[in-house]
Amino acid sequence: MGLADLDVEVLVVRRRNIRGLDPEPNMTILPGDVLVLRGVPEALASAENRLLQGGF
């Protein structure tokens, strides 16, 4: 998902009210997906910026 290089782990992806626990590393993030992330605050901020800019 392009966030591993930031030391951020994607724990859950919710898509159209379907929750995916422990998503595959190659899962494509789509507009409207809701993510639960784990990492240190600085890494989470970087991941948020990357996701909002569409650079994942």
Rounded to whole angstroms, the maximal C-alpha distance in the chain is 29
pLDDT value of position 56: 62
Residue 54 neighbours by CB under 8 Å, 6+ apart: none
pLDDT value of position 1: 54
pLDDT value of position 55: 62
Q: Are 3 and 35 in contact (CB under 8 A)?
A: no
Q: What is the pLDDT along the chain (56 residues), one digit of tens a residue?
A: 578 889 999 899 999 877 777 788 788 888 889 999 999 999 999 999 998 887 66
Q: pTM score, two decimals?
A: 0.77
H/E stretch holding 28 reads none
pLDDT value of position 19: 76
